[in-house]
């Protein structure tokens, strides 16, 4: 898979580790920044990742900020993106199985790096269940057209 990734200063310390982890799983990674740990505005980095997913240039997106919330909120505004902040393995699995989530928001401040790697592994390896969830995802996505 092609994975787009970005962070802000709150997630920068984990970004390279997660990039290496994702590449180790056999995926292609495009890093949308930032290049250093200086203060940035997270929407400036979440938006390009979300657009890469929305436009099909990436299959999934990974965003890392202090909590995972702000970047996920930004990404979810982009049509075609289903983003959520995730901090538990069972949430990562259900996000994929039931919501066909395509962008994950991770916490760089409150979740340990190896725990985030496990969340990413689950996010990348779990399939969408389809079935009854298809209609629900379609109802979620109709909000993009409103």
The catalytic residues are 65, 98
Distance separating alpha carbons of residues 92 and 41, to the nearest angstrom: 26
What's CA 103's distance to the chain center, in Å?
Answer: 3
Q: 97-118 burial, b if ≥16 CB within 10 A, otherwise e?
A: eebbbbbbbbbbeebeeeebbe
């Amino acid at each position: 898979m092609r994975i787009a990734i970005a962070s802000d200063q709150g997630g920068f310390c984990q970004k390279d580790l997660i990039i290496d982890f994702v590449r180790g799983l056999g995926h292609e990674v495009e890093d949308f920044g930032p290049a250093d740990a200086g203060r940035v505005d997270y929407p400036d980095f979440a938006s390009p990742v979300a657009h890469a997913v929305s436009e099909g240039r990436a299959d999934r997106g990974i965003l890392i900020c202090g909590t995972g919330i702000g970047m996920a909120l930004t990404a979810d505004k982009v049509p075609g993106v289903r983003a959520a902040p995730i901090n538990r393995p069972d949430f990562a699995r259900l996000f994929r199985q039931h919501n066909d989530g395509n962008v994950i928001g991770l916490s760089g401040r409150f979740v340990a790096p190896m725990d985030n790697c496990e969340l990413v592994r689950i996010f990348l390896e779990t399939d969408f269940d389809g079935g009854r969830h298809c209609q629900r995802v379609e109802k979620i996505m109709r909000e993009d057209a409103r």
